Amino acid sequence: MYQKDVTAEEKQELDEALQREIQAAFRTDEIRRSQPAPQDEMRAGMSYFHETIWNGLPKFLRRVDTALKGIGVKERLPHDVPLIQFSSWMGGDRDGNPRVTPDVTRDVCLLARLMAANLYYSQIEDLMFELSMWRCSDELKQRVAILEAQTKKESKHYTEFWKHIPPNEPFRVLLGNMRDKLYNTRERMRQLLANGKSDINLEDTFTEKSQILEPLELCHRSLCETGDKPIADGSLLDFMRQVSCFGLSLVKLDIRQESDRHTDVLDTITNYLGIGSYRDWSEEQRQDWLLSELRGRRPLFGPDMPTTEEVKDVLDTFKVIAELPEDCFGAYIISMATAPSDVLAVELLQRESHIPTPLRVVPLFEKLADLESAPATLSRLFSIDWYLSRINGKQEVMIGYSDSGKDAGRLSAAWQMFKAQEDLVKVAKQYEVRLTMFHGRGGTVGRGGGPTHLAILSQPPDTINGSLRVTIQGEVIEQSFGEEHLCFRTLQRFTAATLEHGMNPPIAPEPEWRDLMDFMAVIATDEYRSIVFKNPRFVEYFRTATPELEYGRMNIGSRPSKRKPSGGIESLRAIPWIFAWTQTRFHLPVWLGLGAALKQALEAGPGNFDTLSRMYDLWPFFRVTIDLVEMVFAKGDPRIAELYDNLLVPEELKPLGEELREKYNETKSHLLKIARHTDILQGNPTLKQRLRLREPVITALNVQQAFTLKKMREQTGQGTQSESPKSTKPASDPVTLNPTTEFAPGLEDTMIITMKGIAAGIQNTG
């Protein structure tokens, strides 16, 4: 629009197009009126592959080729060894989500394969337009001749079919055959989704990634042999890399289930067999029985075994894994893993379900105690000959940032994860196993979030070794992959940080630093738990001082906010836990415990200030930990939290809020002292300015939300008796949009819009 060569007519047309976009945005309801199904989440997530990742990946790999060429490496990256791979939990994460059923998992897998076939079909048509050359290798000529002979024999309409592709265009002949087979592949997936069956023979479709790569590789070889290597290394090479990365399923679906659900299944089986209750057995008894069954061949149960709905759901999930193509799935992740038997249990259930190629089993250690025992768990597994043979020298372990932080506070959780990774690597080296760490990071600092580059560089030495897995949460996927240039930058940061960590690893902490961190972690955990879990007033304060109870009205996702309907903070998921404190700009899970730890560390010895300062200057892990908390303080405002207290919290709970705000200010003071800053974000003026510009708008939304929550709770009998403003006349549009709300017209819509606005302003949800 602002280019000099734009004509007056073109500018007018651009103005009108911009007006249409703005008007369409204003006329679109910004509130999701119903909870999305897992399939809806999958479609939304997969749209990023279609819009940005599909084209962004080959562009990034081409840039890597250019960088390698710049340092004297003549060969391009091999197309059949994907540098980056994508997986998904959408439709596979059934941990505490009853809406993710075996049928949902099947539908999601078929839908992903349909999307992949659509993308491949479109790409093949583009290649057919591009590869018009007549000159080719003898190998390609022979393949085309075979295709012609087969088609003459099988098709009654040979003449009509071939007249569209002249015989002197061999590449188009081969690609045309692929296009027809992709059409069948796409239609078969469509029929299976619609009817559960298809009249298209499996032999007439692509069933493996290698079946697509082989003819593409033939085209590439032919072009190279006939002097057309620049053409071969263009769109054709990009497509070969896309096929190698995405496969026929676009993304591999990880299955996640809670360990206790597997215990229920095995308890049902042992009771059916009349050998006792698996749940009541000791860990040693469980391992002995599991290993004896894994080494044997007898079936454990028949169709007459009585099951509950929950047990049947787990068994049916394994059946779906067995039925679908193996490239649909990635890992089987066990949440709340605590012991070796949790891993062996899944291995046994996979064998019992006759899964042709069992999924790799990944324990997820989440609670502080589980992280502490994780090295011993892995050591025991590696000491089992059967298991060591099963994993073939490779093991993946996932560590959970969200639940560990909710369990012990962020400082203690971060330090325990650091130590656990070090010990896990030592165990893996002892047994000569290649270990891949899977980092279950959330979008916020309280759930392990933060700048990607810094997060990777702050990991312990020797824990990455050229490969790692990380989660990109739905709440921040737009920031990472919303535009093609963002996709490129995200891939660039992951790759650069991984390489830098390997070639220039961070220093190992000195013994003195370790001792001080151990000391502070104990204090931080005690402080955190004394308030969150042991203070009888805390749960009620949390639920009245924050919009936690109203969180579910946003319909953010398909999963319930709690693993179990009843229960307190323990059963609450990390996302609503962090979300609630983020909305009030208090961010309690991030800093609680840190202030007490720093204070006692400074008081414990006169030299500890210098030690902490050296840790901040020289140790990436400690510096990143402190800097991220400082960034959260820049987004926080205890005065806003006080406003919520004054409007929403009963009088008898207000002293607790005052106590917490004192701890907030104390923590902030100690943090600035350690960082040797006179003001928050002193070392990051750019971010400080951006936050300063957004702060007035966010504050206005906070004030509106606090008063809206007060009126909503008063109508349900949960409010306090404080005065609210008199200008509460609702807008007319929300009345029409949400006429069935139990609140006064406009209140619920206002509350939801303020939640979304605050999250957008702070750039975090949960």
Q: List the catalytic residues.
A: 406
Cα 658 to Cα 670: distance, rounded to the nearest angstrom: 19
Cα 548 to Cα 544: distance, rounded to the nearest angstrom: 8
Cα 59 to Cα 65: distance, rounded to the nearest angstrom: 10
> Taking the CB of residue 671, how many other CB atoms lie within 10 A of it?
20
Q: Between vectors from CA 215 to CA 212 and to CA 217, what angle results, nearest 5°? A: 100
CB 383, CB 340: distance < 8 Å: no
DSSP string for residues in 630-641 = HHHHHH--HHHH
Cα 352 to Cα 298: distance, rounded to the nearest angstrom: 9
| Helices (H), ranges, 93-250 | 102-130, 138-154, 158-162, 170-195, 209-225, 229-231, 237-246
How, if at all, do strands 469-470 and 360-365 pair?
unpaired
Cα 455 to Cα 448: distance, rounded to the nearest angstrom: 9
Contacts of 328 (CB under 8 A, 6+ apart): 109, 112, 113, 249, 252, 253
Give the pair of three-digit tokens for residue 52.
């940005």
CB 136, CB 226: distance < 8 Å: yes
Using the structure block, give the residue that is written with the tokens 């066990």: 334
> Taking the CB of residue 394, how many other CB atoms lie within 10 A of it?
11
Give the pair of three-digit tokens for residue 617.
């200057």
Cα 573 to Cα 563: distance, rounded to the nearest angstrom: 7
CB 751, CB 708: distance < 8 Å: yes
Cα 143 to Cα 453: distance, rounded to the nearest angstrom: 47
Question: Roughly how many angstroms between the first and final C-alpha of the chain, as a whole number?
Answer: 37
DSSP string for residues in 531-594 = HHTS-TTHHHHHHHHSSTTTGGGG---SS-SBSSSS-SGGGB-HHHHHHHHHHTT--HHHHTTH
Cα 407 to Cα 368: distance, rounded to the nearest angstrom: 7
Beta bridge partners of 360: 331
